[in-house]
Amino acid sequence: MTYLLTGARLLGGAPRDILLDGGVVAEVGEPGRVDAAGATRVDADGLVALPGLVDLHTHLREPGREDAETVASGTAAAALGGYTAVHAMANTSPVADTAGVVEQVWRLGRQAGHCDVHPVGAVTSGLAGRQLAELGAMADSAARVRVFSDDGVCVSDAVLMRRALEYVKAFDGVVAQHAQEPRLTEGAQMNEGAVSGRLGLTGWPAVAEEAIIARDCLLAAHVGSRLHVCHVSTAGSVEILRWAKSKGWDVTAEVTPHHLLLTDSRAESSPVGPYNPLYKVNPPLRTDADVLALREALADGTIDCVATDHAPHPVEDKETEWPAAAMGMIGLETALSVVQEAMVETGLLDWAGVADRMSARPARIGRLTGQGGPVEAGAPANLTLFDPATRGAVDPGGFASKSRNTPYQGMTLPGTVVATFLRGRPTVFEGKLT
Amino acid sequence: MNRHLLSTSDLSRDDALLILDTAEHLAQVADRSIKKLPTLRGRTVVNLFFEDSTRTRISFEAAAKRLSADVINFSAKGSSVSKGESLKDTALTLQAMGADAVVVRHGASGAPHRLATWVDGSVVNAGDGTHEHPTQALLDAFTMRRRLGDLDGRRVTIVGDVLHSRVARSNVHLLHTLGAQVTLVAPPTLVPVSMGDWPCEVSYDFDAVLPKSDVVMMLRVQHERMNASYFPSAREYSRRYGLDPERLGRMPEGAIVMHPGPMNRGMEIAAEVADSGRSTIVEQVTNGVTVRMAVLYLLLSGSEPAIGGTQ
Amino acid sequence: MNGAQNQARDDRRPMAGQSPRDAAETPEGPRPGDEYAGDERAVLEAPDINRALTRIAHEILERAKGPEKLLLLGIPTRGTILARRLADRIEQVEGQPVAFGSLDVTMYRDDLRLKPARALGRTDLPTEGVDGRIVVLVDDVLYSGRTVRAALDALNDLGRPTAVRLAVLVDRGHRELPIRADHVGKNLPTSRAETVRVCLAETDQRDAVLLRGGLR
C-alpha cells in the first residue's frame, strides 16, 4: 500500500505531504507538490508527524502472567500509544535469562505484528543477583539482545555490576540498572517524606536510588563501559547524572511519564480516594521538586529519554490494601499525552524535542536500526500521527492493554494518537487498531 | 457524607468536643447497676480484627453491647482470610450480612480507608498499621480532660516510637485540634525523617521537656525495633527515654502519666511509675469503653452520623 | 441536600431558644426554620407561668403528702429548669429542700433513626438514686407522649420508684400513646400544624409560651 499523508506538521513544523511507499518514506514535500498517483490519501491537516516512538522499558508479562498482559495485547497498546518498537523487560516467568526465552518473546512480537519487540535480557540468572546470565548467548540469538536489565530488582552487588558492565562491552551491550539499594528500601511502600510520615507507610528514601546511581556511574567510568539508568525519579539523581555526563562518561538515563506528572500526594488525596494502590509504583512517585527537576533534566538532555515502565497488573493485585498491592502502572497508551501535558504545554520541549526523547535517543541507546527516525526520503516508514488539539478524560475501558491500572483515571489529558505506521503499514488508523 | 471514623485529622473541634461531651454523659451509665441502653437495638456491629488485640476488641465489644447492638466478632485468624481471601471479598461478605458498622483492626496502614470504599456501613478504625488509632486518642483526650479540665494550652509530651506509632499520630492531630501543645520525644531514629507540617514540636531530650509537661504519655516500644538497630539496647533506651521514679519526681505537680498499653514494665515505664497515683493507665481502659460507646452512638444512632461533616 | 434537612442537621446540637425535642416530637409537623403564616403569639406570659408553677407545686406536695420522698426529675433542657423552679417553690412553702435532678431520655427515644444523631442532655440524680422515691417527671410540653414513654423506660433502668407522676407546663393534645399528665399548667388545644414554643428566662431571656400558626 501507498499512503500520502497530507498537510502533516512534521515534528510540529510547517505542513508537509509525506508519501509512504514500499515500507519506506518515498518523499517529503510542500503540500500539493508530492506526486502520489494511486496513493491512499490520509488527511493529516493539523496533526503532528513524529517518528515512530521507541520504548526502552515495557513489561509485556508473557511468558508467565498472561492474565495481566500478553505480547499481543501489550504491543497493541504500544501501537495505540504511537510506538513502533518496545523493549520487553526480562522479569517474566520464566525469566528472560536465556537465548530460548528471549527468542520466544521476539517471535511472539513478530507474530502479533503491532510493533517491533526487542527483548531485554536479564543481567543475572533468575534475577537472583548471584551469577551472570548468558549475556553473550542472548546477544547472539535471533533476538539480538543489546539491553540487559534485572529491572524489578537492583543489581546491588558491586562486583557483579562491575562484571556485567565490563562483559557487555564485547557486543556493545548496555546494562540498564534498576537503582534501588535493597537494605534502605526493605518493606518500602512509597516515597519517604512528609506524606509517608503522615500516612504511616514505610518510606522509600531518595538516597536509596541516588547511592546506586552514583556508584554505577563511577563503576561505568572505571571500566569504560556504558550504563543506562532506568526510571530516574529524584532531583538528586539528576544532579549525579549531570555530574557524570559532565565528565564525559557514557551514561544515559530514562524517566517515566508518571514521574513527570504525578507526586506522592496522590497516595493521600486523589480522585480515587486515599491509599489507592493505583499510585503504588517502584520507584515511587516523588515530590513536586523532583517532578520539576526531572522535567528540567529531560529538557536539557541530562535525562536522555522517556520510557514508560508500562507495568500491567490484574485488578485483584490493585484492589487491596496498599501494602499488599503490586507496584506499577500501565503507561503505553497515555505516554505521549502525558509528555505533551508535562513537557510541551509547559514550553520545556517542542515536538522535535519530543521526537528526540521518545524515539531517536531510546533507539540509539538500544542500538536499534531502522527505528528512531528521522522522517526523510529513504528512511523506514515508521511514524506516528498525533493530534495535540484534543483534550479528554482518560478512559481505561478503551485500552488495548489487558490491565486497567492507570493512574490517570479521572484525569483529563491532551492529545490523541490518530495513526501509527510500522514500515509503511498502518498498525493504528483513525485512532483504532488495524 | 462521612459516616466513618478513620483518622482524627478528619475531626473538627466541634466533632471532637461532641464525642467527648457525649462520652461524659455516657460515663454515668457505667456507674449504674443496669449498664445497658436500648439505643442501638437491631443494629449490627462487626469487629473485624486482622491483628490480635484482645483489649481493643473487648473494649469495642463492651461498648456495642452496652448500647444493645448485635456484635459479631470476626477474627481473621483461622478464617477464610488466612486462606487467602482478599480484604475486598471479606468486605463484601460483611456487607451481605448487613453490618451497620465495621470496627477494623488491620496491620496495613490505610486498610480501613480501602474498606470504607467497599461497604455501605460505617467503618471505625481500631488501629491500622503504623497510621492511626483514633479511638485511643479520643479516650486519651477524655482521660486528660477528666483529670486536668479543658485541654486548651495544656502541654502534652508523647515519648517513644513515634515513627511506628498509630497512637502518636492520632493523638497529635486530636490534641492539636483541642488546643493542646504537643511535644514528641524520641531518639532521632524513631521519628519520621520529614514531619514538616505535623502540628507539634519534636525533641530528642526527654529531661528538657519533662518539667514543662502537664501530661507525659509513654508509648510501647516493640522489642523488634531493637534488633533493627533503631537504638543500641533496651537498657540504653530505658536510660534515655524511660520514665522512672526519678524522672516522675521532676514532673510538675498535678502532671499525669499515661500509657496506651500493653506496657513493657522496666523498659519505657518503671513499675512504680505505672502504679503511682499519677498514672491514669487503669482509667484509660475504663474510659475506652465509654468513648467507644460515644463514637458508636454518634455514628449509628441517627439517620446520619453526627460527626465528620461532609466529605 | 435540601434546606429542611440542613436545618434538621443543625438540630443535633442544642440551640438556645429552640428545643430540639419539640421538633423531634412532631415528625410530620413543622420544623424549626419552616416559614409560618402568622406571627407568634403568647398564650402564656411570665405571670401566668409563675401562677401555674405555684399551683403545680402545691398540687405535687398535697398529692405526695409532704416533700420528704419527692424527687423532681426534669427532662432536659426546659423540663430541668421547670423542675428546679418547682423545687424552689416547694422549699419556700415547706421550709426544707426537696430533691430534684434531670433525666436525659435521648438514648431511649423511639425516633432516633428518623433524624441525625444528636447530642445528649444531662442526667443528674441524687446519690440515693430513685428507689423508694415518688418521682415527678417534669417537662415543658406534653404532645405525642413519646418523650414521657422514653423517660419511663429510662427510669426503669435506674431503679424502682414508689410512684411516678408527670407534671407539664403545657398539654397541647394529640397523644399517640396512653399517657396523661398528673399536673398541667395549661391545657392548650392546638392543631398539628401549629408549633408551641416555651421560653424560660434561664435560657431564653424571658418567660412565655408562644404559639405559631400553621404552615404557609
Q: How many whole angstroms separate alpha carbon C211 and alpha carbon C41?
A: 5
How close B3 gets to chain C, by Cα (Å)? 11
- Starting at the edge strand found earlier in the chain, the sheet holding C134-142 runs C99-102, C70-74, C134-142, C163-171, C183-187
- The secondary structure of residue C164, as a DSSP letter, is E
Mean pLDDT of chain A: 97
> How would CATH label the architecture of B8-133+285-300?
3-Layer(aba) Sandwich (3.40)
**Domain-embedded: residue C40:** no
Torsion of CA B142, B144, B149, B155, to 10 degrees: -130
Could you say which of C117, C153, C159 has the minimum Cβ distance to residue B305? C117
Q: B304 φ, ψ to 5°?
A: -150, 160
pLDDT at position B1 over 70 = no
For residue A220, give the nearest of A202, A245, A198, A203 by alpha carbon. Answer: A245
Residue with cell 523488634: B224
Q: Is the pLDDT of residue B78 over 70?
A: no
Average pLDDT score over residue span A361-390: 96
Q: What is the reported pLDDT for B30?
A: 79
CA distance B171 to chain C (A): 23
- With respect to residue C199, please indicate whether it lies within any of the assigned structural domains: no
pLDDT at B16 over 90: yes
Nearest to A60 by CA among A21, A1, A98, A108: A108
Distance from CA of A322 to the nearest CA of B (A): 7
Of B3, B4, B106, B133, the catalytic one is B133
Nearest CA in chain B to C110: B39
Q: B297 vs C123: CB contact, 8 Å cut-off? A: no
At B259, list the grid cell: 500509657
- Which pLDDT tens digit goes with each residue over C152-182? 999 999 999 999 999 999 999 999 999 999 9
Whether chain B has a CB inside 8 Å of the CB on A377: the answer is no
- Higher-pLDDT residue of B226, B291: B291
Is C35 a residue whose pLDDT tops 70? no
| Per-residue pLDDT at C17 exceeds 80 | no
Catalytic residue among B8, B56, B157, B280: B56
Q: Which of B22, B32, B302 lies closest to C112 in CB terms?
A: B302
Q: What is the pLDDT of residue A399?
A: 97
Q: Name the pairing type of β-strands A227-229 and A174-177.
A: parallel
Rounded distance between C-alpha atoms, residue C175 and residue A302, angstroms: 83
- Taking the C-alpha atoms of residue B21 and residue C93, their distance in angstroms, rounded to an integer, is 37
Q: Give the closest residue to A315 by CA, choosing from C45, C160, B86.
A: B86
B130: β partners: none
Query: Are B305 and C112 in contact (CB < 8 Å)?
Result: no
pLDDT of residue B3: 87
Nearest CB to A321; choose among B111, B194, B195: B111
pLDDT at B310: 38
Q: Residues of chain A with pLDDT > 90: what percent?
A: 97
Does residue C80 belong to any structural domain of this protein?
yes
Give the model's pLDDT for residue B2: 60
Report yes or no: B42 and B171 within 8 Å, Cβ to Cβ: no
Tell me which chain B residue has its CA closest to the CA of residue C103.
Answer: B25
Nearest to B130 among A200, A316, A321 (CB): A200
3 state SS of B191: coil
DSSP type of residue B176: H
Domain of residue C160, residue span: 47-111+121-189
**What pLDDT shows up at residue A156?**
97
Peptide bond into A374 cis (omega under 30): yes
Give me the residue from C107, C116, C159 closest to B303, CB to CB.
C116
**Residues of A114-152 as b/e, b for ≥16 C-beta within 10 angstroms?**
bbbbbbbbbbbeebebeebbebbebbebebbbbbbbbbb
Average pLDDT over residues A296-316: 98
Residue B14 has pLDDT above 70, yes or no: yes
pLDDT of C135 over the 80 cut: yes
DSSP letter at A360 equals I
Question: Which pLDDT score, from 0 to 100, does residue A363 have?
Answer: 98
Cβ of residue A392 closer than 8 Å to a chain B Cβ: no
How far does B33 lie from chain C, in Å, by closest CA? 7
Q: Which three cell numbers stand for residue B116?
A: 470504607
Question: How far off is chain C from B280, nearest CA to CA, in Å?
Answer: 25
Local confidence band at C31 (pLDDT 50, 70, 90 cut-offs) = very low
Give the pLDDT band (50/70/90) at residue B52. confident
Q: Give the residue-averaged pLDDT of A218-224.
A: 98
B65 has catalytic annotation: no
**Per-residue pLDDT averaged across A189-202, rounded?**
96
pLDDT over 50 at C22, yes or no: no
Does domain B134-280 fall under CATH 1.20.120.1200? My reply is no
What per-residue confidence (pLDDT) applies to C10? Answer: 37
Put simply, whether the predicted model's pTM sits higher than 0.95 gets the answer no
A 10 A CB-CB count for B292 gives 29
Residue with more model confidence, B3 or C24 = B3
CB atoms A273 and B117 under 8 Å: yes
**Residue B132 in contact with partner chain A when CB distance is under 8 A:** yes
Rounded to the nearest 10 degrees, what angle do helices B166-177 and B13-30 cross at? 110
* pLDDT, position A19: 97
Nearest residue of B to residue C121, measured between CA atoms: B25
Residue C27 has pLDDT above 80, yes or no: no
Name the catalytic one among B13, B25, B55, B212.
Answer: B55
Reply yes or no: is the peptide bond before residue A94 cis, omega within 30 of 0: yes
CATH number at residue C84: 3.40.50.2020
**C-alpha cell belonging to residue B309:** 461533616
The predicted pLDDT at position B81 comes to: 61
Q: How confident is the model over A48-59, as a mean pLDDT?
A: 98
Report which of A410, A409, A374 is spatially closest to residue A28, judged by C-alpha positions: A374
**Chains B and A make contact, 3+ CB pairs within 8 Å:** yes
Residue C134 counted as domain residue: yes
pLDDT at C14 over 80: no
pLDDT digits (tens, 9 = 90+) for B90-125: 999 888 888 999 999 999 999 999 999 999 999 999
Task: Order the strands of the A53-58 sheet from edge to edge.
Answer: A53-58, A83-88, A116-119
Distance, in Å, from the CA atom of C199 to the CA atom of C197, rounded to the nearest integer, reads 6
Chain B residue at shortest CA distance from A324: B108
Please tell me the predicted confidence (pLDDT) of residue B308: 60
d(CA B54, CA B60): 10
Task: Report pLDDT for B84.
Answer: 67
Query: B202-254 pLDDT, tens per residue?
Result: 999 999 999 999 999 999 998 777 778 899 999 999 999 999 999 999 999 99
DSSP-derived letter for residue B228 is T
- Contact of B202 with chain A, judged by CB distance below 8 Å, is answered with no
Q: If pLDDT is split at 50, 70 and 90, which confidence band does C117 have?
A: confident
Say if the Cβ atoms of C158 and B32 lie within 8 Å: yes
pLDDT above 70 (res B64): yes
pLDDT tens across B114-169, in order? Answer: 999 999 999 999 999 999 999 999 999 999 999 999 999 999 999 999 999 999 99
Percent of chain A residues topping a pLDDT of 70: 100
User: Cell 501489550 sits at which residue?
Assistant: A74
Grade residue B80 by pLDDT with cuts at 50, 70 and 90.
low
Altogether, the residues listed in chain C come to a count of 216
Rounded mean pLDDT, A334-355: 98
For chain B, where do the domains classified as CATH 3.40.50.1370 start and end? Answer: 8-133+285-300, 134-280
Written as one string, the DSSP assignment of B94-111 is: HHHTT-SEEEEEESSTTH
Residue A373 clears pLDDT 90, i.e. is over it: no
Question: What rounded mean pLDDT belongs to chain C?
Answer: 84
Judged by CB atoms closer than 8 Å, whether chains meet at A273 and B113 is answered as yes
Interface touch A197/B108, C-beta < 8 Å: no
